[in-house]
Amino acid sequence: MGNKNKTISFRVNEEAFETLREIAEERDISLSAVFRDYVDTLVAHDGQVRVVPEHELKSGSATEAASPSESFPPKVEVPKSFVREHERLELEAEHLREQLEEYKQYVTRLSQEIEERETEDIVQLEELDEEAEEEPFRLG
């Protein structure tokens, strides 16, 4: 299989669109190329890309803003109890999905059985009335 291109689409407000178009015009490239460059950079740096205004980049204030001990994207410590609870809930949800599927199959089977029985045991009241009219009753 070859390397196939995929399309990503999203919506932005009019102001952001105009800003992006201005950036593309400044760089003398298409608007699509702006996004392709960003996505390529994002992939190349494993998602660790920070977008900063150009004037901050030249002045060096962008590098000063982030302390050396701070990594980007920020990382958060999560207690093990939270992770365990999350895993437990995932397992429970999976179990409930399985039970729901079993109940659906059970209901389907019961519905089929009812349909089969109905076709065998149906007695039309009109047919009973016709039979009663054919044979006169005598008291006697």
- Residue at 73 is within a domain: no
User: In terms of domains, do 18 and 51 share one?
Assistant: yes
- Residue at 91 is within a domain: yes
Residue 132: the pLDDT is 58
- Residue at 72 is within a domain: no
Based on the structure, what is the number of domains in the chain?
2
- Residue at 69 is within a domain: no
Alpha helices in the chain (DSSP H): 14-26, 31-44, 54-59, 61-65, 80-121, 125-134
Cα separation of 113 and 123, whole Å? 18
Residues 33-65: tens digit of each pLDDT: 888 888 888 888 887 777 777 777 776 655 555
- Residue at 6 is within a domain: no
**Cα distances (angstroms) measured from residue 4 to each of 1, 7, 8, 31:** 8, 10, 13, 21
Note down the domain range covering 51: 14-60
User: In terms of domains, do 45 and 89 share one?
Assistant: no
pLDDT interval class at 92 (50, 70, 90): very high
Q: Please identify which residue in the block is written with the tokens 């044979």.
A: 135
